[in-house]
Structure 1
């Protein structure tokens, strides 16, 4: 394995391949930093370009774009609360408040370091444990996937604010996820005869609308201010911060790998779950949402690790672990290659060159991110009357380019108004995204599980993994309900005792 990896490194450092890799990182930086553009879109755009390329160079290009795009979504998430990619949604929760407090450079430094470490951990796991992780993923069936989705939905208990708001938001997201064609029966649901809704409500219009457009509206209305920053100094290696986030980085990177290798779950879910776990393990959970360094480190380490982990089922089983890897699977087939159990043996040279390329990409992120970010931080001094319309135009172009649909643009603007109104109620917008992301997984796997058991709900309790996951979800949600009640009870008793 070491010999193959070193051979892959030698391939990467060939001048042409190294230039391709650097170009891929730069393209990924730009695409990921622009709201509405994602790794899927970039890979789709460049897919025809790779047709005439050597297979090794082609897949180094596509996978490097994938990895760097997942990273660069944090830039606009932190600076403008306009996540460049869906994976960066959770990063904006603590990254943007730090920018408002005049600590944009600190927030960006934490994000860069966490992304690189998470990506390296994910790449090492990809290289070393691919056969083992693939066998673990094979043990998951529909009941386990449903239980994992239920566990992910308990994140609403850690979002801050009222728990009931979080539950309502998740329920709204679950409802939005049901719009479109039924995945099992092919029956239209809540489409009202509109062909535009037949494909369902896209994640990009919802995310861009709720977060980016609502933020522009808030700033334009004068209800949101930001401290002027004359210069943002990005400091990646801060010993005090590194000690503070070390445990969070370790836990989130491993969690990201574990979630990433499960086909169809994705890096966005890994970011949400890891953020939730960071809150639960924190000694100061009240700091989250207000600029906690762990709130940046957790989702960034997890989503980059999960992005690498999503390649495990692709290479080992021929099953895409995310939307972007599904496009990459199509690229393999286009080049006459079929990932699967024998792929590691038949095409080991190509695979290890890709592994080595991804390993080096994470170091490129550390090296090239600071000069790239300087271009974006200069925009902080631009009057918002100029910057706001530019952000809106980027959102419109990015949203339209996903499906070439003006209907998606109107949806985005509608969700922007909704997000603006909900934020006035201090409603956790991420709860809606959570329900929308996990809804299709939960619904499909629930119905498949019931079909397996002929309607017997005990299938979720009779399987050890699913029973454990559901038990943990119930326990965490129960604790989130009982602890506030207990605190109120203690306060009431203390007030009564003082009154006496």
Structure 2
């Protein structure tokens, strides 16, 4: 009953006219970002982060969250209609969704994607409401050794779940940890790795890093490799609803995708991209007729679309209850909370219950808005694809520059963004994924703080990490994850899991 009382409080907070407006703005922007290729939720959130400075904390977080899970919806539209994923987690949807469109079943594919996403988003919201308070109570028992072990597990999970080479993922995490250590040491007051540059005394700013690595590098990639000519598909559909057979085939896939995505979203390093790929792989493995995949199997749309939306919702759980970002997007959300003077973690539920439960309630409201927005507005989103990229990328560059300069009028911040753009482009050419580096950058200072605090408490005795049951359990889990990385059979399975076929 207490959960329902909390949810009532959340709906009262999220249901105010102001917050409903920001929720609508976020979901519409998110859908637009998902539809337009070359933007993506990470650079979009980074670009819009400065706008939230003057907003109420709950309003700003509702808008940013709406952009995130709205992008999951929007990405499916272009994936199905024109075989072009607007968002990374919608890559898998192209495989079966576009084949359904070629067979004249575009309406059915879009309806299944929208309804499956709404169901998954609803279940993800229930997950947060149900498991948020227990996790928060567990988090209150955490001390410095436990937090250090948890963050170490998160970084190892980021390596396990990262795309491509394990060695490159390890290198990216270590690079992020090093970048996070730049600045003035809180304990000694000495500067570290600043190369006598006064602009680095307070550390590397988060915004120029993410805008350089994700926003501007994505523009360069799109200019370097223009997308193929778009295939025109009619969007005049007499019947948007799937037939009975498509419903029967899609319902179990939606349930499986929702369950899988809900779990993978909670894991450190998990997220919508991994959930969609894992769901597609699962559906293909358990199908009685796997040969139909690649030719318009409705399960290949229902499962991944449900999985990526469920993961988008449940990825908020580690952030709101433990103060740990599970993926780069949650790292940006964490930055937004810190900017608003809110320390993510278990204390949010006790000190700001309106914020926590308002966020939970807004997710269900936002998912309902997305169903209403996406089905009638398919034709509008497709027309936006006709905007030439030569007109789109200057606007993105302008927003990036304004975003960095508005947070700090120091020209050094612009230079830093350019440096990270060049660095990000080199990483792209080397086949290195920057996402683990961002997680290392965010968690590095926190890990160092908890490590040093633990050693101070134990007077330099490292056994404190194995004497405490929580930290010992997390360290054992970390060792098991490292064992998986070392095993050759796991590496082979991991590479196969991320193939698009």
Q: TM-score, normalising length from structure 1? A: 0.67
Q: List aligned pairs for 1:374-393, cutoff 5 A.
A: 377-393=382-398
Q: Measure the CA separation in 1 of the matches of 2:378 and 2:187.
A: 45
Alignment partners' CA distance in 2, 1:181 and 1:110: 52
| 2:482 aligns with one of 477, 485, 490 | 477
Distance 1:423 1:175, change over 3 A: same
CA RMSD of aligned residues (A): 4.9
User: Which residue of the partner structure matches residue 368 of structure 2?
Assistant: 363
Q: Which residue pairs with 2:152 in the alignment?
A: 150
Q: Does 1:432 align with 2:430?
A: no
Report SS of the residue matched to 2:460.
coil
What do the CA deviations read for 1:230-275 (whole angstroms, capped 9, x no partner)?
469799998556644644532443565x67xxxxxxxxx5645994
Whether the 8 Å contact between 1:101 and 1:227 is mirrored in structure 2 is: no
Whole-angstrom distance in 2 between the partners of 1:276 and 1:178: 32
Task: Indicate the SS of the match to 1:409.
Answer: helix
**Per the alignment, in what secondary structure is the counterpart of residue 381 of structure 1?**
coil
Give CA-to-partner distance per residue, 1:405-463, whole Å, 9 cap, x none.
54333322322222222222222232322322332232222222222222222222222
Which residue in 1 is equivalent to 2:68?
Answer: 70
Judging changes above 3 Å, is the alpha-carbon distance between structure 1 residues 99 and 432 closer, same or farther for their aligned structure 2 residues? farther
Structure 1's 478 and 438: CA in aligned 2 closer, same or farther, altered over 3 A? same
TM-score by length of structure 2 reads: 0.67
Which aligned pairs between 1:394-473 and structure 2 lie closer than 5 A? 394-473=399-478
Provide closer, same or farther for how the CA distance between residues 191 and 118 of structure 1 changes in structure 2, counting only shifts above 3 A: farther
Shift of 1:46: 1.9
Task: Show the counterpart of 2:55.
Answer: 46
Deviation at 1:177, TM superposition (A): 1.1
Instruction: Note the C-alpha offset of 1:145.
Output: 1.7
Q: 1:132 Cα shift?
A: 3.2
112-121 vs 201-210, which moves further:
112-121
CA gap of 1:186–1:211, structure 2 versus 1, over 3 A, is same
Q: What is the rounded CA distance, in whole Å, between the counterparts of 2:201 and 2:166 in structure 1?
A: 32
- Is 1:190 the counterpart of 2:193? The answer is yes
2:230 is aligned to 228
Q: Indicate how the Cα distance of structure 1 residues 148 and 73 shifts in structure 2: closer, same or farther if over 3 A, else same.
A: farther
Matches within 5 A, 1:34-183: 35-37=43-45, 41-47=50-56, 59=58, 61-62=59-60, 64-72=62-70, 74=72, 92-95=87-90, 120-121=122-123, 123-125=125-127, 127-128=129-130, 131-154=133-156, 155-183=158-186
* CA positional deviation for 1:138: 0.6
- For 1:400 and 1:424, locate their aligned partners in 2 and report how far apart those are by CA, in whole Å: 28
Query: 1:273-308 CA deviation, whole Å, 9 max, x = no partner?
Result: 99499769966999xxxxx97787666533433436
Partners of 1:330 and 1:396 lie apart in 2 by 26
The superposition leaves residues 61-108 of structure 1 with CA deviations (integer Å, 9 ceiling, x where unpaired) of: 45532431332455798899xxxxxxxxxx954435766999599999
Does the C-alpha gap of structure 1 residues 178 and 424 become closer, same or farther in structure 2, counting only changes over 3 Å? same
Query: What is the total number of aligned residue pairs between the two structures?
Result: 434
Partner of 1:50 in structure 2?
none
Q: 1:369 to 1:41 in 2, by over 3 A?
A: farther
**Residue of structure 2 in register with 1:85 after alignment:** none
- Deviation string, structure 1 residues 136-189 (Cα, Å, up to 9, x no partner): 111222222222222222222343432222211221111111112324444322
Cα distance in 2 for partners of 1:454, 1:353 equals: 42
| Greater mean deviation of Cα atoms: 455-464 or 277-286 | 277-286
d(CA) in 2 for partners of 1:366, 1:445: 43
| Unaligned segments of structure 1, at least 5 residues | 48-57, 81-90, 260-268, 287-291, 315-320, 332-337, 488-500
Could you list the runs of 5+ residues in structure 2 that have no partner in the other structure?
A: 34-38, 79-85, 286-299, 324-332, 493-501
- The separation in 2 between residues aligned to 1:204 and 1:372, in whole angstroms, is 33
Partners of 2:173 and 2:439 within 8 A in 1:
yes
Question: Which stretch of structure 1 is more off in the superposition, 111-120 or 204-213?
Answer: 111-120
SS in 1 for 2:203: coil
In structure 1, distance between residues paired with 2:7 and 2:163 = 47
2:385 aligned counterpart, secondary structure: helix
Q: Contact 2:93–2:304 at 8 Å: present in 1 too?
A: no
